[in-house]
Structure 1
Amino acid sequence: MARVPLARTVVFGAVALLLFLLVVLPFGWVLNNSFHDDLTGAWTLGNYARIFQSVDLLEPLFNSLLLAVATAVIAVGIGVPLAWLVSRTDLPFRRTIRVLTLTAFVTPSFIGATGWILLAAPNSGWLNALWRSLAGAEAGPLLNIYSMTGAIFICGIYTVPYSFTMVSSALDEMAVELEDAAATLGSGTLRTMLSITIPLVTPAVIASFILSFIQGLTLFGVPAFLLTPTGIPVVTTKLAEFYQLFPPEIYMAAAYCMPLLLVTAMLFWMRRRILGRKQFVTISGKSRAGRRIALGAARWPAFGAALLLPLVSVFLPYAALLLVSLTRAWGQGLSWENLSLHWYWWALFGNSETHTAIVNSLVFSTLAATLCVMLGTVVAYIVERRMVFGASLFGAVATVPIIIPGIVMSVGFFAAYTRAPLNLYGTPAAAGRGLRGDLPAHRLCSWRVDPQGHRAGAGARRPQPGCGGGTDLPVDHHPADGRRAAVGLVPGPSSPIIRELSVAVFLITPKTNVMTTLIYNAKDGGNYEAVCAMSVLLLLITLALVAAAGPLTRLTTVRRTSRKSGRKTAPAEGVLPT
């Protein structure tokens, strides 16, 4: 019997140490460095004074806020109606719309930006070339992707799936007895929606707005690709400038992260104030699908409107990337003589740097996702079973990364792991026989998805009827039984890790390049054929990981047989596309 307490002590100690290394230590270094001077190392408030006294530092903050607000408005304004159409109406090809929207979800936004550069660059973009052929050679460009409007457009369309996924999940899992009762009592569709449906999905809508806002605030790839060439700064690109200076202004960068943290913390505080203690939960038996609202004559026009998002986020940019990747020189136009698989052969076999980056991406994402699943599951088990005094603290620390923007923690990882005694940055460490990796990169990626693993594991053990809500942020967790734990399977977390750029660009060294950083670096060289080939390969790998999560989800799903009735209970729908 003595072995059990000892084993528990070891596990609790290991979990506490990992959470300290992944969350507490990096954030502590960000906070500590922000109060130090880069030249003397002395304690100072000068960094904060410089931020609010310098126009060059205030302008990126205002630009980032503008980008974030516009991104969140677009995401909610499009994602919520689209989720309602797919979940509650007789829209044609609903499953196809859902799959295409989730395809946009797993598409890295900076790769989408690359596709739209090919389509809407003011001089060479194909859509502008088509416009000039119709309006005359002297006509100005119809579209200019190198602008704040272009950045808002790209950030918005690739953030819509956040709100779509969360709201559609809430609608799909909502117990519909209240809606049916209202309809039976003569309530019209609009009144039922305003009085019942919308209040029940309010937590998901607010949460999706917050996450979309944070996404727009902390993205690095899209502003770097679209705004840097025009000289429009945002916080993330300004942070990169601090690191590119000689000597780098690391302490100033830490202070410059604080406004991001302040804004996100205020958003979560406002959410708690708005929702208060409301749980938005319906107590009922097994939920079932509600009646589909007939759209009538608007059915096919609504389908056309629903296709606009996949058109601009998937079809057009994917086609542009694929066509350019299949040409030896895309400036020579499309012809049989110019078509070639040269750049794919170059990326896979002809260039050691790209081959290494592909291997690194797969290894790093697998290791990070494995750590995420293991740590998240153990934390969830400890918290839900309250196995130790202060167990809720484990859950709170594991959930903190939802609030802290990833780019802020990347600065913390840089500070924490580039100094003695750890000094791990840029040091290849054994990650497996014959495979090496950068430890800070592994830890950072694991940290970024650990809240999802924690929430998934918690949901598998604690049924949450209705659409959830309360005081927790419903990030991909509206679980009813064991299938929700599949969100934490390795292929699920691997897909966001392998396409991460905003944080990886601050930690990766030339020896530990991954595909995203290699694409980012190659884009500056102007070799769009190589960039597009690597982008297509990254998309294929990401989609393959997401597709693999479906069968694994089904394999790990346990159909429970009720002892009383002998009926089998089917698992709830997961958030991963199957």
Structure 2
Amino acid sequence: MSSSVLPAVAARPSRLRLFEPITLLWVALIAALLVLVAAPLLKLLVISFEEQDTGVFTIQNYFTAYGRQRYIDALINSLLLGTLSAAISTVIAVPMAWAVSRTDMPGKGFTWAMVLAAFIMPPYLGAIGWILLAGPNSGWINVVWRGLTGATDPLVNIYTFTGMAFVIALHSFPLVFIFVKSALDLVSSEMEDAANILGAGTWTAMRKVTLPLVWPSILGGFILIFLETIALFGTPAIIGIPARINVVTTQLWQFFEDPVRVEVAAAYAIPLLLITMGMIAVQKLMLSRKGFVSQTGKGGERREVKLGPWRWVMLGWCVAVAMLSVVKPLTVLLQASFAKAWGRGFSFDNLTLRNYEFLLFEHDVAPRAVWNTVWFSGASATIAGVLALLVAYIVVRKLMRFADALGFLAMAPFVIPGIVMAIGFYAAYAGPPLSLYGSGLLIILAFAARFLPIAYANSQAAIRAVHPEMEEAARILGSGRLHAIRKVTAPLLKTSLLGGWLVVFIVASRELSAAIFLVGPRTRTMSVLLYDLSEQGNFEVVAAFGGILLFITMVIVGIGMKLVGRDFMLRRE
């Protein structure tokens, strides 16, 4: 064979490798992540510098977005609201987490159940419950207060800045609780014992020794709630708009009123993204400068702190939080959902099933909204789960060069506020040539991108727990990689993957901040319809529809507990 033929023969396998399944899969994943993550963000940035009609480069959009004091005040209000809500959440959650993890407080199972209930209850539904409880004119707390004291002024008024932050914190604190408790569960008791020997009491040891060890988790929970709050739409719209408190998300919604000014909205949204990235950087900087490390290792002994009579005080704190975050709002919502007129109180002649009958059989949008919610949430959870599994497998097994770039793209939406992601999808895909505005496909893709980091973190942790030797054994026996994954790896991962799928389904089913910008007349979800009904002021129907949403959520949670375990929502890494 001539020497000129040899290079061609040698090059042929190299070219053929370009068409191997793993290479094609890598290319497909890159394309999918570019569509879901990179393209919307790039379009958002580009359109913020374009004139709406001509597409000519301009910075006028930024001058318009921040050219009025009202718009600047909205940004300041969001930052203050995020700080206050995160601070309240931390104050609520840290003592609860310490009591459940480290002490002999009774009622730990009850506390866990209430944390789970507060987590799965949509924040905007809790806001409606607190309007029924603490509205200045007809809220139950103020009605009882006036009846007992004869006062004319309300005892509490939920339509205030502090009231709004309080309601947000009541449904955000589970994030801090989960972070801090998970960290406390890994801390040995030996250093606390040493502090006690040196004369420190229980509370001093907790403040000086235990909490500094979990400082990263406390800070992480604080920052996460801050970022979630400044990107939250439901509660600021339901409580803030009637109270004339403007924040970034409600201002963005006003930019989408007729005429739609998407280029101004894009310019106004960019600082949210920069703030999020800045907060993540601040967190890393603070933790790099000051760290606390336990030297006892994973096997260190953990003993419950004996609180004596104080254990009942801690239980009282947990019960009070449960009453405020779950029991009272749910009770008043349940009463309103079965009431002819919720203001008439609890009486048999005021009970009716009419609200549910109207929604399920007569309302022209509600049944479709229920179906849309189930379909969109299920489809987005499936897309996110499949993408996350494939990306995590390639990253963990290091199958391709630059595999970490895939992991970076999969986690990128974590630092992108949901409302910014929604505007990016609107800018990228709502208009020609795809013209997807108002379609189910656009909502499904936006939800999949929004919650991809949850699925990816879950898949990555699950794959790392499976040793690659079992796959290698199957391949030695003649199995291909994809066949080994399907027959060996997938069965070992199915429980964890199902748990991740259920978590994404649940958070997608209650998502409002992204959905409100993307739905059309025939693609309204339950969260969007709930907001529309709340604007109409018919709280009986709103409460009934909220009850339907909670019923669906509880069914999914029940299925998750049956198939995966009772802690499937609380053990994500």
Q: Common fold, TM-score beyond 0.5? A: yes
Secondary structure, in 3 states, of the residue corresponding to 1:291?
A: coil
Q: Tell me, yes or no, if structure 1 residue 439 matches structure 2 residue 453.
A: no
Aligned equivalents of 2:251 and 2:431: distance in 1? 24
Note if contact 1:257-1:408 (Cα within 8 Å) is conserved in structure 2.
Answer: yes
Alignment match of 1:95 (pick from 85, 93, 109): 109
User: What is the match of residue 305 of structure 1?
Assistant: 317
Q: Tell me, yes or no, if structure 1 residue 521 matches structure 2 residue 535.
A: no
The Cα of 1:335 is off from its aligned counterpart by: 2.2
Aligned equivalents of 2:565 and 2:72: distance in 1? 50
The Cα of 1:92 is off from its aligned counterpart by: 0.9
Task: From the superposition, tell whether residues 60 and 487 of structure 1 become closer, same or farther in structure 2 (CA, over 3 Å).
Answer: farther
The Cα of 1:359 is off from its aligned counterpart by: 0.8
Task: From the superposition, tell whether residues 131 and 39 of structure 1 become closer, same or farther in structure 2 (CA, over 3 Å).
Answer: farther
User: What is the match of residue 95 of structure 2?
Assistant: 81
CA deviation digits over 1:482-532, x for unaligned, max 9?
Answer: 699357532221111001111110111110111111111111112111110
Task: From the superposition, tell whether residues 295 and 255 of structure 1 become closer, same or farther in structure 2 (CA, over 3 Å).
Answer: same
Aligned equivalents of 2:493 and 2:434: distance in 1? 39
Alignment match of 1:34 (pick from 34, 37, 48): 48
Aligned equivalents of 2:453 and 2:394: distance in 1? 14
The Cα of 1:161 is off from its aligned counterpart by: 0.8
Q: Read off the aligned partner of 2:447 and give its amino acid letter.
A: C
The Cα of 1:202 is off from its aligned counterpart by: 2.2
Alignment match of 2:64 (pick from 45, 50, 62): 50
Aligned equivalents of 1:72 and 1:411: distance in 2? 25
Aligned equivalents of 1:354 and 1:519: distance in 2? 9
User: What is the match of residue 450 of structure 1?
Assistant: 452
User: What is the match of residue 552 of structure 1?
Assistant: 563
Note if contact 2:189-2:303 (Cα within 8 Å) is conserved in structure 1.
Answer: no
User: What is the match of residue 425 of structure 1?
Assistant: 437
Aligned equivalents of 1:367 and 1:149: distance in 2? 38
Q: Tell me, yes or no, if structure 1 residue 293 matches structure 2 residue 305.
A: yes
Alignment match of 2:262 (pick from 240, 250, 257): 250
| Structure with a larger share of its residues in helix | 2
Q: Give aligned pairs, total.
A: 532
Aligned equivalents of 1:486 and 1:185: distance in 2? 46
Note if contact 1:326-1:343 (Cα within 8 Å) is conserved in structure 2.
Answer: yes
Note if contact 1:113-1:154 (Cα within 8 Å) is conserved in structure 2.
Answer: yes
What pairs up with 1:277-292 in 2 under 5 angstroms? Answer: 287=299, 290-292=302-304
Q: Read off the aligned partner of 1:256 and give its amino acid letter.
A: Y
The Cα of 1:52 is off from its aligned counterpart by: 3.8
Q: Tell me, yes or no, if structure 1 residue 354 matches structure 2 residue 366.
A: yes
Aligned equivalents of 1:224 and 1:102: distance in 2? 25
What pairs up with 1:10-29 in 2 under 5 angstroms? Answer: 10-29=24-43
User: What is the match of residue 414 of structure 1?
Assistant: 426
User: What is the match of residue 462 of structure 1?
Assistant: 464
Aligned equivalents of 1:356 and 1:337: distance in 2? 31
Alignment match of 2:352 (pick from 326, 340, 349): 340
Q: Read off the aligned partner of 1:164 and give its amino acid letter.
A: F
Worse overlay, 225-234 or 331-340: 331-340
Q: Tell me, yes or no, if structure 1 residue 324 matches structure 2 residue 332.
A: no
Larger radius of gyration: 2
Task: From the superposition, tell whether residues 381 and 508 of structure 1 become closer, same or farther in structure 2 (CA, over 3 Å).
Answer: same
Aligned equivalents of 2:498 and 2:171: distance in 1? 21
Task: From the superposition, tell whether residues 250 and 230 of structure 1 become closer, same or farther in structure 2 (CA, over 3 Å).
Answer: same
Alignment match of 2:169 (pick from 156, 170, 192): 156
Task: From the superposition, tell whether residues 457 and 4 of structure 1 become closer, same or farther in structure 2 (CA, over 3 Å).
Answer: farther
Q: Read off the aligned partner of 1:81 and give its amino acid letter.
A: P
Q: Read off the aligned partner of 2:142 and give its amino acid letter.
A: N
CA deviation digits over 1:59-96, x for unaligned, max 9?
Answer: 10111111001011111122112111111111111111
Aligned equivalents of 2:83 and 2:495: distance in 1? 31
The Cα of 1:187 is off from its aligned counterpart by: 7.3
Q: Tell me, yes or no, if structure 1 residue 169 matches structure 2 residue 171.
A: no
Note if contact 2:134-2:157 (Cα within 8 Å) is conserved in structure 1.
Answer: yes
User: What is the match of residue 232 of structure 1?
Assistant: 245
Worse overlay, 312-321 or 481-490: 481-490
What is the percent sequence identity of the aligned residues? 37
Task: From the superposition, tell whether residues 576 and 273 of structure 1 become closer, same or farther in structure 2 (CA, over 3 Å).
Answer: closer
The Cα of 1:544 is off from its aligned counterpart by: 2.1
User: What is the match of residue 213 of structure 2?
Assistant: 200
Note if contact 1:354-1:515 (Cα within 8 Å) is conserved in structure 2.
Answer: yes
Aligned equivalents of 2:290 and 2:395: distance in 1? 22
The Cα of 1:38 is off from its aligned counterpart by: 3.1
Aligned equivalents of 1:284 and 1:508: distance in 2? 53
Aligned equivalents of 1:272 and 1:485: distance in 2? 29
Secondary structure, in 3 states, of the residue corresponding to 2:216?
A: helix
Q: Read off the aligned partner of 1:224 and give its amino acid letter.
A: A
Note if contact 1:460-1:483 (Cα within 8 Å) is conserved in structure 2.
Answer: no
What pairs up with 1:114-193 in 2 under 5 angstroms? Answer: 114-136=128-150, 139-172=152-185, 174=186, 176=188, 178-179=190-191, 182=194, 188=200, 189=202, 193=206
Note if contact 1:214-1:405 (Cα within 8 Å) is conserved in structure 2.
Answer: yes
Aligned equivalents of 1:379 and 1:389: distance in 2? 13
